[in-house]
Structure 1
Amino acid sequence: MPRRSPLGAVSALASGGLLLSGCAVVDNLERFSDDEQEQQQEEQEQAPEPEFPYVKQGRTFLDTGNDVLREYGIERLESTDEYMVLDAYMTILEPLSGSNTSLSAPPRLVDPESGLVYERIYNEEMERSYGSYFEEDDSKFPIHEGSPRKIRRYFPPVPEDVDTLTFTGKGMGAMSGIPVDHVDEITELPEPNAHEYINSFNWNTDDVPEGADVHYPHDEPPADHGVEPLSLEQFVDSEVASTTRDGNEETIALNADVMFEFDESELTDEAEEVVQQAAESIKANLASDVEEITIVGHTDGKGGDDYNQTLSEERAETVEELLADDLGSEFTLTTEGRGSEEPVAEEGGSDDEEARAQNRRVEFSYEINDSGGESEDAGDVGLDAAQRHVAAPAEFNEDDGEVHESVTKEDVRLDVYPLTRDGAYLIGTVVFRNTTEDPVEPELGGADAKIPGGPDQYSEGTLGGFVLSEPDSDVVRHVAQVKVGEEEYEGFAEEVHELQPGEDYRTIAIFSAPPQDVSEMTLHAGEFGEIEGVPIR
């Protein structure tokens, strides 16, 4: 089950008052053609080179409802062999007082090509992230309304061949194209002076001179911090098969209704071509040292346990015979049947028929390569749902572009912006606006938001019901998940909380990217309905 994003903390003080592991995966690549690469290189050379700081503004959800507009500026991103450092500033642009805790997503740095997600290194003893602090045992900070508060945060190191990362969180949406400077030593910070200006007893900031830079003390994580990047899990579905990628493991599930007649284990006429496509996907994606592949049959919950077990075993064995012919003798294939023990969609609801169809499947899991391959055609072979399309990382964009379409449901308006192609992913940006004069808690992720028969894991959370589909394809792309524990996931989308009257709240969702020649997508926006022709930039 996905879990709620951990709450970032940021404290505020008005004058006189107290105050808030994964493995790199670049498999089955669809690369740019030579002409496309040359064109992109020319465009990048002609475009002005952005310079630090990289700046964006966004509204932050606070637990008090005093949601404020903030400016976030990234001033430096350096990586050594031990860790990566993000130096940034935060400026509160509106009046704020009292003690406030941020409900916005925590800062994350994402490698858009490998899908690795870098989160802050946490100081368990102090119960806060390593880096800047005001008081050692407190994650909260005084507020400097109208002037920047500078903060340093530590993350796991990135490989030396990673040149740019995408920043997400803090209510800023996505800030792509942030350059990484690989260094031997991290830039030293100025001596801390925060306690010269700010009273530790009441956190009063009246004594901070206008325009003064306030520098906080900070601590470094130990060299053996042991924190590894997380991986993005992707789920791509189609009529004949679905593919799940979790770190360096890939699972292809063939739709049993396409493969077999009802209650039968003999293959249909269409099944042979599907298995051949599956074999091509396996050969393109499989890690070089994998020699054994297990084929597992699954049924829905109808029928007795013994009957389902037997049927699942027989179907796995039938697929194994055909797959063995296509893969050749270099692999050892084994089969299992698990009956109805491992459903991926909940049966018995209003979408019972679709859920049962999703559970009737034959699947095989294997470790995938991390070399990426060099073939330009690598993305064109095998099952559509198993192809991975990787472009260049996106450049930094100061804004989200022009609104493509606005949809209003009851008291909430949804503004849909163009999608951004960023490496192997698409960044979907939407803005929620409360059109009333009272606070509104939007109804998101309900029964109407779920794609019929969709896996439960990808249908929960704020934007869990949001999916993308290609105009001329049956392939459906669900919001990517961050694997935060052994069986714990959270959707890579900003949480949406109570909306204050007349305010805009930006949120993003991350999806796997379609082929390079796809220039627009259809967004299934849960209870807001279907928005067609969303352009990709």
Structure 2
Amino acid sequence: MQMITTRAPVLLAALTILLTACDSGGGGSSTSSTASTAPTTAKAPPPYSGALVKEAWSGLPAYRSRVEMKQIERYGDHSVLRFYVTNLEQTPRSITFALGMVPSGNHDFKLIDPVGHKAYFPHYDGAGDTVGSRTWPTSHVSGVRYETLLHFPPIPQNVRTLTVLTPSTAGEFTSVPVVDGTGSGGPVAPRASSEPAPGSTVSWPMRGTTGKPADAVVDMYGLTESEVKSRSTTGNEEKIGLRADVLFDFDKATLTPGAKQILDDVAGETRAKADPAKPPIVITGHTDGKGSHDYNQRLSEQRAQSVLKELQARLGTDYQYRAEGKAATRPVAKEGGTDDEKARARNRRVEVAYQIKQRTTQTTETTTRAPQEGTTGGGVPAPFHPADGGTIATRTIEGTLFGAKVKRRLDVKPFYRDGAYLVVVFEITNLGPDDLVRPVTGYTGKNGGAFGSFGVVDPVSKTTYKSVRLGPDDGTVTRRYADQDTSVLNVKPGTTNRGFFYVPAPTAKTVTLDAGEFGQIPNLPVP
């Protein structure tokens, strides 16, 4: 996936609206599909020990490039990502790793810790510029290897590797080493002249900074959802959302007989994972937007109290509890649209939130979560994947998208684990006859992220594992996900674009990939 980045909220909002229209069919999309599934015996490539290098489409317009990650260096009040970019085209090209139709020179890379469940965003100064190399508007000369630097918040001493998410079809670079920096942390290669020699390694000048950059470090939120409950998990907190419609009768606060088994399960999970030393367990009632606020407030409080009493009866006095009601003030779905009843049903819920017990592993020397449903605890970082392995399933669709006749093929690659997460990898090829229509995809959707219409489904429990969100969903910032973010496709016929996204690692041995318009693809192996 080629990715374009900017800090302008208006452009981002416009892209979001257009992408959502693609997904909903509002632009006149009609498709038919054919399916074939290759044998699921294809395996991911073996561990890799060479340079961390991938070739990719980068910039806007897209050009072929080679991206090489060197390392992440710790300094006193910041860290430095050191990497190299080589233009593989025949002529000089300007590069931007930023979202936006106008290049800004900003670099929208992200660092994630898949074991510690943290995400790190680049340092931006007071002028809204990323701190590091100044690459724009100067062109990359063909065949020259350009050393590039980007500043991030400080990385903890116990973190040995991080995954770098790049705004290009190179996607994710796993197990990039984190080392203690030496010297000034500036460029090592000589500064680029106006015409550096092909095959040489040179560096960009460093940008000046305005003001002190602010650190941006957020939790990674593992999101799952079923007909009974949803789950949001970070490295420290778990929040379980229980559908009110399966706990209570309409407009009632008395638990139904069927709710008892559900709360038995929740109590068992809470006993295994909640930390009594970090109280309280918070039970919060929520309603939909129908009715008056006073009535909804009272009902939400009463339902929270009912759940509290049942959990307290099961868990005893080792824990502290607090019940509260929020009425309809914190919806998780937008009401009033075409799926209004489904949205209201999602908003009618009782949430149980608690702090997770922590343990220290001997192998990674880092603090990880206690075991939980849908993950393997903190897991271990994935080795670097220079290639994706063979295709394990294929789907082809064709039709009309915003007036363009398009035919697209989805090739699913072997999944792999990175820490506590499963990485879903695939390629999408435009088979023509027309260009795809910008902003192209139609792959955004309710799950969130660049491929929000995609998800991983456990065929037994019917639980959907959704794109991992980076940061809270509090309405104050643009939501980001562990994927290619707001990237767009190379639109030309015959071009292939690589995609990926992270989900919480399921416990199932095989899963179904819900690939949006491409349909359901069953029996995909989970490593």
- Same fold, TM exceeding 0.5? yes
Amino acid at match of 1:56: K
Q: Which position in structure 1 is the counterpart of 2:174? A: 176
1:119 maps to 2:116 = no
Q: Which position in structure 1 is the counterpart of 2:515? A: 525
1:432 and 1:376 mapped to 2: Cα distance? 35
- C-alpha change, 1:219 and 1:369, in structure 2 (3 Å) is farther
Q: Which position in structure 1 is the counterpart of 2:495? A: 503
2:346 pairs with 352, 355, 358, which one?
Answer: 358
Q: Does the aligned pair in 2 maintain the 1:80–1:185 contact within 8 Å?
A: no
1:58 maps to 2:59 = no
Mapping of residues 445-464 of structure 1, within 5 Å: 445=442, 450=445, 458-459=447-448, 461-464=449-452
Amino acid at match of 1:161: N
Mapping of residues 311-390 of structure 1, within 5 Å: 311-371=299-359, 378-379=370-371, 384=373, 389-390=377-378
Q: Which position in structure 2 is the counterpart of 1:434? A: 430
Query: How much is the aligned-residue C-alpha RMSD, in angstroms?
Result: 3.4
- C-alpha change, 1:96 and 1:350, in structure 2 (3 Å) is farther
- C-alpha change, 1:402 and 1:355, in structure 2 (3 Å) is same
Residue 61 of structure 1 deviates from its aligned partner by 5.0
Three-state SS of the structure 1 residue aligned to 2:299 is helix
Amino acid at match of 1:182: D
Amino acid at match of 1:341: T
Amino acid at match of 1:506: R
Q: Which position in structure 2 is the counterpart of 1:421? A: 417
- C-alpha change, 1:501 and 1:116, in structure 2 (3 Å) is same
1:109 maps to 2:111 = yes
Q: Does the aligned pair in 1 maintain the 2:58–2:167 contact within 8 Å?
A: yes
TM-score w.r.t. length of structure 2: 0.78
Three-state SS of the structure 2 residue aligned to 1:281 is helix
Q: Does the aligned pair in 2 maintain the 1:70–1:92 contact within 8 Å?
A: yes
Amino acid at match of 1:252: I
Residue 221 of structure 1 deviates from its aligned partner by 7.8
Amino acid at match of 1:89: Y
Residue 288 of structure 1 deviates from its aligned partner by 5.0
Q: Which position in structure 1 is the counterpart of 2:147? A: 150
1:474 maps to 2:465 = no
Q: Does the aligned pair in 1 maintain the 2:218–2:471 contact within 8 Å?
A: yes
Amino acid at match of 1:427: V
Q: Does the aligned pair in 1 maintain the 2:490–2:497 contact within 8 Å?
A: no
- C-alpha change, 1:168 and 1:80, in structure 2 (3 Å) is same
1:214 and 1:346 mapped to 2: Cα distance? 50
- C-alpha change, 1:186 and 1:409, in structure 2 (3 Å) is farther
What is the identity percentage for the equivalent residue pairs of Structure 1 and Structure 2? Answer: 31
- C-alpha change, 1:284 and 1:96, in structure 2 (3 Å) is farther
Q: Does the aligned pair in 1 maintain the 2:54–2:386 contact within 8 Å?
A: yes
TM-score w.r.t. length of structure 1: 0.76
- C-alpha change, 1:268 and 1:422, in structure 2 (3 Å) is same
Q: Which position in structure 2 is the counterpart of 1:534? A: 524
- C-alpha change, 1:287 and 1:467, in structure 2 (3 Å) is same
The alignment of Structure 1 onto Structure 2 pairs a total of residues equal to 463
- C-alpha change, 1:388 and 1:346, in structure 2 (3 Å) is farther
Q: Please list the CA deviations of residues 469-507 of structure 1 after superposition, one character each: whole Å capped at 9, or x if unmatched.
A: 123222211111122896321233212245122111112
- C-alpha change, 1:255 and 1:190, in structure 2 (3 Å) is closer
Three-state SS of the structure 2 residue aligned to 1:340 is coil
Q: Which position in structure 2 is the counterpart of 1:44? A: none
Mapping of residues 59-208 of structure 1, within 5 Å: 59-62=57-60, 66-96=61-91, 101-102=96-97, 106-125=108-127, 127-133=128-134, 139-171=136-168, 172-183=170-181, 185=183, 189-190=187-188, 192-194=190-192, 197-198=193-194, 205=195, 208=196
Q: Which position in structure 2 is the counterpart of 1:493? A: 483
Q: Does the aligned pair in 2 maintain the 1:427–1:511 contact within 8 Å?
A: yes
- C-alpha change, 1:187 and 1:108, in structure 2 (3 Å) is same
- C-alpha change, 1:401 and 1:285, in structure 2 (3 Å) is same
Amino acid at match of 1:364: V
Q: Does the aligned pair in 2 maintain the 1:164–1:178 contact within 8 Å?
A: yes
Q: Does the aligned pair in 2 maintain the 1:61–1:68 contact within 8 Å?
A: yes
Gaps of at least 5 residues in structure 2 are: 9-45, 100-106, 399-405
Q: Does the aligned pair in 2 maintain the 1:444–1:526 contact within 8 Å?
A: no
Three-state SS of the structure 2 residue aligned to 1:527 is helix
Q: Does the aligned pair in 2 maintain the 1:78–1:186 contact within 8 Å?
A: no
Amino acid at match of 2:171: G
Of 74-83 and 166-175, more deviation after overlay is shown by 74-83
Q: Does the aligned pair in 2 maintain the 1:295–1:320 contact within 8 Å?
A: yes
Residue 530 of structure 1 deviates from its aligned partner by 1.2
2:472 and 2:489 mapped to 1: Cα distance? 22
Q: Does the aligned pair in 2 maintain the 1:55–1:71 contact within 8 Å?
A: yes
